[in-house]
Amino acid sequence: MTNQLPTLDVCFSPELLPLYDLRGKVAVVVDILRATSSIVTALAQGVTHLVPFSELAECQAQAAAGYLTAAERDGRQAEGVDLGNSPFGYLDGVVPVRGRCVAITTTNGTRALHLSAAADKVLVGAFLNIGAIAEHLRRLQKDVVVVCAGWKGNFCLEDTLFGGALAALLQTDFDTTSSDATLAALDLWKTAEADVAGYLLKSSHVRRLNSLEAHKDMEFCIRQDEYTIVPVFQDGRIT
């Protein structure tokens, strides 16, 4: 009798999700720049939970219910909210976040979370918590799909690099060879891992963030294992 390993697949964009059956699987949603990195940071800094919204108006309306509001559109903080989408918003102390709940909307990351809800379990992944995510997946022993948030439906380098880095960590526990997407992500990671920041300088999102003077965000978001939390998106909340 063969002891089959669970599979680890990588979905390069939410637009490709209809090709993936998430039922019975674990989805690891990743938007390295910057939504899932900010969500992980928020929870690590004592935010009680976050509720992701698709529409800006819906998110803004949660202020009346006591939520802090965080919103990004085209990389910039939206009007009329407390926070943008920089992880430093949860670290710099300008807006006290400990003990607060946060309503959040971003261009790609919060959309990818909602689109992954068919999975048995939806985890929020980032380089900041990659080791904890890997350990959690080893324990669950279920098929995994890394859902890359991408940019407006397009492939992006940084989320794919996370897929490759996670696959590299799990190579002996998961089947990382049966999906061409995972093989490609692994190859990309091998190319970039010695100098992730240098590699990502050419990415469209880093160029976009640089034009917004948010270069330090990229440097923070590629740090590995800053936190050991494994956020879960369930019943509309991330905890």
Cβ distance to ligand 3SL smaller for residue 9 or 31: 31
The residue from 62, 106, 129, 203 that contacts ligand 3SL (CB under 6 A) is 106
Does 109 interact with ligand 3SL (rule: CB under 6 A)?
yes
Chain residues 55-74 in contact with ligand 3SL, contact rule CB under 6 A = 72
> Nearest CA to 163 among 6, 11, 4?
11
Cβ distance to ligand 3SL smaller for residue 106 or 182: 106
Does 31 interact with ligand 3SL (rule: CB under 6 A)?
yes
Question: Shortest gap between Cβ of 53 and ligand 3SL (angstroms)?
Answer: 12
Does 108 interact with ligand 3SL (rule: CB under 6 A)?
yes
Does 33 interact with ligand 3SL (rule: CB under 6 A)?
yes
> Nearest CA to 33 among 181, 189, 213, 214?
214
Rg (CA), the chain: 17
All residues at 6 or more sequence positions from 95 whose CB lies less than 8 Å from its CB, including other chains: 68, 82, 83, 89
The interface region with ligand 3SL, picked from 15-23, 28-36, 186-194, 222-230 by CB under 6 A, is: 28-36
x/- mask, ligand 3SL, residues 123-152, rule CB under 6 A, reads --------------------------x---
Q: Are 218 and 33 contacting, i.e. CB atoms less than 8 angstroms apart? A: yes
The residue from 34, 68, 113, 222 that contacts ligand 3SL (CB under 6 A) is 34
Question: Residue 155 phi/psi, 5° resolution?
Answer: -60, 145
Percent helix, strand and coil across the chain, each to the nearest 5:
40, 20, 40
All residues at 6 or more sequence positions from 212 whose CB lies less than 8 Å from its CB, including other chains: 75, 76
Which residues make up the interface to ligand 3SL (CB under 6 A)? 31, 33-35, 72, 75, 85, 106-109, 149
